[in-house]
Structure 1
Amino acid sequence: MSDRADSPTARDVLWRFGPMVYGPTVLFALGEGAVIPLIPVIAAQLGADVATAALVASALVVGQLCGNIPAGWAVARIGERLTMAIAGLVSLAGIVGMALAPSLGIFAIAVFLIGFCAAAFGLARHSFMTTRVPLSFRARALSLLGGTFRLGMFVGPFIAAGLLAVFGDEHAAIWFFGACLVATVLLVVFGPDPEKQFLDTSTAEDDAVAAEDTGEPVTGSIPLRRAKGSRSPTTPSSATDPGTGVLRTMWRHRRVLSTLGLAAASLSAVRSARQVVLPLWGVSLGLDAQTIALVVGISGAIDFALFYASGQVMDRFGRLWAALPAMILMGAGFIALAFTHDLPQAPMWFAMFAAVLGVGNGLSSGILLTLGADVAPRSDPAAFLGSWRTLTDAGGAVAPLLVSAIAAAASLAVATGAMGVIGLVGALAFVRWVPRYVPRTRP
């Protein structure tokens, strides 16, 4: 990869994206991160038992899963910026429903609506970055996008704890989320438009990429002005063409979705399993809540600290150099942890492998976003990204159910080992399919 990836142009463009993309991401994630830990608590106050409260909390993930494909349809037709604005406004209705819900059913519907809008908001940002960021630093840009989301989800619970200490009411966190959404919508609607600021820079960058035969596919980047020697002027663009339809896009790209897409889903599953297994493992060892929270928090801090390193590795050495170590670390970490439950120093092993899983998850930051952008069709990326994100979100949604089912049928150690096997199988899938669909840039 040439030195222009490290040029001031890259930093300048990423800075210009801040108000439109990274800023709204942090605001949305801060509010969501503050609310998520309190959803089961509020559900219990409305009369839910433990199982029902868990079901209500899962409505957020279900809503996000259901929202990806409609979001792809919306982005392809009305654009990324308008989709983000509408999603923010509809989320405000969900916030009001959560705060004023008179019954558990209405509260669950409001939570589902928040998840649905989060999918639309997330896909719009993903599509925006896919079509605007030059290929030479795409991974860093998308890793930074994932990192800003991680920052919000990491800090959000602490904000919720502070609001509880001041107001003594869980609904304070919900209204905080509402304030974040208002700021998000205002920033999206009235903030600077990076597409206009980015026009000349992106055109020069895309012209350079088009002129240099690097061997790297450029299917996910849409030039803002067409370079010489590029595709025919009759080629449709997502900016002018309403798209070929989500279902038709899924069928047309069924091969990449059923191969590389499933590998990506396995990564999402392992990530999601980490969030479930670590607290359960601490409980099974008889550790107190403070110790479990400390271990999980340290793992999350390691994860957050490595998010930008993942993008640097992908841009400089190729996507596989980040995906493979991440999957091997998490897969092997789960398998090794499964054999430590009855050892004399089990708490020590628990803390050590939680850190290992944090490293693996941190190295995977931005991979799903970047791979989706790499293989998205040039003419209509939004519809494809809706299908891609549905697959990855499905992997994340199924993993906790799989852990629960295997733990109930056998034991938590067996469930943990099973997730490790999924991680290693996913690593093999990445080895097989990443070089085929996203070949490494040649010097």
Structure 2
Amino acid sequence: MSDSTEPADARAVLWKFGPMIYGPTVLFALGEGAVIPLIPVIAAQLGADVATAALVASALVVGQLCGNIPAGWAVARIGERLTMAIAGAISLVGVVALALAPVLGVFAASVFLIGFCAAAFGLARHSFMTTRVPLTFRARALSLLGGTFRLGMFIGPFIAAGLLAVFGDEHATIWFFGGCLIACVLLVLFGPDPEKQLANPANGTFEQEDTGEPVSGSIPTVERAGVFRTMWRYRRVLARLGLAAATLSAVRSARQVVLPLWGVLIGLDAQTIALVVGISGAIDFALFYASGQVMDRFGRLWAALPAMVLMGAGFLALAFTHDLDSSAMWFAMFGAVLGVGNGLSSGILLTLGADVAPKTDPAPFLGSWRTLTDAGGAAAPLLVSGVAALSSLALATGLMGLIGFAGAALFAVFVPRFVPHTRSLGGETGLGDSA
């Protein structure tokens, strides 16, 4: 694919993926984004204290962690499209249970189930894009996938606020999530299948052979290694590049915890804190496609390193501003810096996972990859909370900055080793036991 034709071809392929991938992603994220802020509120109404409400809210992340590896098994055997449809349908059951939960235990189990299904839904999309998108614009396609999720999570809370203003009941947001899931499942099952529209070897879009038969599941393979055998075979890349990916996920997650807490620490009111966090999130969202452009044109490191260095420097510098007279100004400025860094990292984890996954059967590998990245994201808030309780929030913030710099070093070492084609598009990865 030449440089002159690549942009048009990329736009055509990404447009074809809209109904199957990007549309369902926005719907799922809209519903989830509307419900997530109200989970602790509803848990408190069911009798939870503050600590228990936080624990119930964390059940979503725990469910996602637990769901990644089983999702890899499911996608490898029944295909991406069917996995997305089943995950959406089971999530709908969880939403109904969420809305009608008579006791806290049922409510918490429903939150866990939705997180479990979200993992399956997300991995199916990731696997689908890994096997269907050409390398020349893979990063843009996956950055757009991350951006559509960001869009839903960004708009969802505003929809929740509107529903609360109209109905005055937190359960209205849950039923909105249910409506989004119904539309999502119908779109996945009955929407246009991009494989049927694009599976033409003459246009260079796909690498697999066109047999003339419509494909609705994973690309056929001679042998399926299984989840645990795949984990063992790719243990080296998971332990090295996967660790770098986990640090990025940790730094991203820490931003969502540190910024509100820092605003409280320096005595800002809730409106100012919300404004700073909102501006940071808006900058993050505005840059999601730029990240894909950079990775496709210049290589993965050109996005990964600036993102990690910016976020590491932002956290580390913020840690020294607590006692300054202009602490509020520095808080706003470094909040913006963290937003830029996070925006530049959009799609990196999805893209690197796709780069190093087996070409013919990526789902089992991606289940392990996403488990590592989700674990990093889940561990960061716990680390910030623990260090802040034992010492200070400033120390916890500085520690996250150091983790950011450590992650940058890991990316600098292991991306050229495991993803050599990012220096020259069209190469091979050649991973496995020898990697």
By the TM > 0.5 criterion, same fold? yes
Q: Judge conservation of contact 1:243–1:383 (CA < 8 Å) in 2.
A: no
2 CA distance for matches of 1:68 and 1:129?
Answer: 17
TM-score (norm 1): 0.92
Alignment correspondent of 1:376: 357
Tell me the CA shift for residue 287 of structure 1: 1.0
Tell me if 1:255 matches 2:254: no
Distance 1:252 1:405, change over 3 A: same
Tell me if 1:348 matches 2:329: yes
Distance 1:2 1:428, change over 3 A: farther
3-state SS of the aligned residue for 2:325? Answer: coil
The superposition leaves residues 202-232 of structure 1 with CA deviations (integer Å, 9 ceiling, x where unpaired) of 66326xxxxxxxxxxxxxxx722189xxxxx
Most deviating of 135-144 and 378-387: 378-387
Question: Which amino acid counterpart does residue 420 of structure 1 have in structure 2?
Answer: G
Tell me the CA shift for residue 286 of structure 1: 1.3
Alignment correspondent of 2:16: 16
Q: Judge conservation of contact 2:283–2:336 (CA < 8 Å) in 1.
A: yes
Tell me if 1:128 matches 2:128: yes
1 CA distance for matches of 2:48 and 2:81?
Answer: 38
Alignment correspondent of 2:104: 104
Alignment correspondent of 1:385: 366
Alignment correspondent of 1:266: 247
The superposition leaves residues 292-332 of structure 1 with CA deviations (integer Å, 9 ceiling, x where unpaired) of 11000000000000000000000000000000000000001
Tell me the CA shift for residue 10 of structure 1: 1.2
1 CA distance for matches of 2:46 and 2:5?
Answer: 53
Q: Judge conservation of contact 1:28–1:180 (CA < 8 Å) in 2.
A: yes
Tell me the CA shift for residue 5 of structure 1: 6.4
Tell me the CA shift for residue 155 of structure 1: 0.3
Q: Judge conservation of contact 1:76–1:238 (CA < 8 Å) in 2.
A: no
Tell me if 1:434 matches 2:415: yes
Tell me the CA shift for residue 6 of structure 1: 3.2
1 CA distance for matches of 2:5 and 2:52?
Answer: 50
Q: Judge conservation of contact 1:338–1:413 (CA < 8 Å) in 2.
A: yes
Alignment correspondent of 2:150: 150
Alignment correspondent of 1:37: 37
1 CA distance for matches of 2:286 and 2:5?
Answer: 22
2 CA distance for matches of 1:204 and 1:347?
Answer: 55
Question: Which amino acid counterpart does residue 437 of structure 1 have in structure 2?
Answer: F
Residues 30-109 of structure 1: matches in 2 within 5 Å?
30-109=30-109
Alignment correspondent of 2:181: 181
1 CA distance for matches of 2:395 and 2:326?
Answer: 19
Tell me the CA shift for residue 442 of structure 1: 3.0
Q: Structure 2: 5+ residue runs without aligned partners? A: 212-217, 426-435
Paired residue for 1:224, among 208, 212, 215? 208
Provide the identity percentage: 80
Q: Judge conservation of contact 2:62–2:112 (CA < 8 Å) in 1.
A: yes
Alignment correspondent of 2:310: 329
Alignment correspondent of 1:291: 272
Alignment correspondent of 2:430: none
1 CA distance for matches of 2:410 and 2:263?
Answer: 31
Count of matched residue pairs: 418
Question: Which amino acid counterpart does residue 267 of structure 1 have in structure 2?
Answer: L
Q: Judge conservation of contact 1:30–1:177 (CA < 8 Å) in 2.
A: yes
Tell me the CA shift for residue 239 of structure 1: 2.4
Q: Judge conservation of contact 1:250–1:384 (CA < 8 Å) in 2.
A: yes
3-state SS of the aligned residue for 1:383? Answer: helix
Alignment correspondent of 1:215: none
Q: Judge conservation of contact 1:272–1:400 (CA < 8 Å) in 2.
A: yes
3-state SS of the aligned residue for 2:224? Answer: coil
Structure 1 stretches (4+) deviating beyond 3 angstroms?
4-7
The superposition leaves residues 382-410 of structure 1 with CA deviations (integer Å, 9 ceiling, x where unpaired) of 00000000000000000000000000111
1 CA distance for matches of 2:57 and 2:161?
Answer: 18
2 CA distance for matches of 1:63 and 1:127?
Answer: 20
2 CA distance for matches of 1:6 and 1:204?
Answer: 12
Question: Which amino acid counterpart does residue 364 of structure 1 have in structure 2?
Answer: S
Give the RMSD, CA atoms, in angstroms: 1.5
Paired residue for 1:275, among 216, 231, 256? 256
1 CA distance for matches of 2:134 and 2:194?
Answer: 13
Alignment correspondent of 1:412: 393
Tell me the CA shift for residue 437 of structure 1: 1.0
1 CA distance for matches of 2:329 and 2:202?
Answer: 53
Q: Judge conservation of contact 1:238–1:381 (CA < 8 Å) in 2.
A: no
3-state SS of the aligned residue for 2:204? Answer: helix
Q: Judge conservation of contact 2:31–2:177 (CA < 8 Å) in 1.
A: yes
Alignment correspondent of 1:113: 113
Q: Judge conservation of contact 1:140–1:308 (CA < 8 Å) in 2.
A: yes
